[in-house]
Amino acid sequence: MFIKSAKALSYSKAFKQQCVIAPSEVFECDVVVTIRIWYASRRPDLDESLILDLLQEVAYKNDRQVKEKHIYWMGVDKENPRCEIEVSARE
């Protein structure tokens, strides 16, 4: 059984409420994921693997489809910490 920390569970709930996905169809092919992250502090504890898990059945069927990842630490934004996520078919 996979047990998440209280912080991860809280992030998961917020992610599902805020996630805006386009296109509306879930990818079935291999994908490329680009994530740009603005943290609330210089002590980030968000692991991008949680984001990849949360995108399952939202952007793609399974995170094993992710064949290429680009993760960018964009800086600190105490007022508006966020992630911008792009998912595209791998060519």
Q: What is the pLDDT of residues 29-67, one digit of tens each?
A: 999 999 999 988 888 667 788 889 989 888 899 999 999
CB 91 within 8 A of CB 30: no
Q: What is the pLDDT of residues 15-37, one digit of tens each?
A: 777 776 655 688 999 999 999 99
pTM score above 0.75? yes
**Rg, the chain, Cα only:** 13
Q: 14 vs 8, 28, 33, CA distance in Å?
A: 10, 25, 20
Element (H, E) at 11: helix 6-18
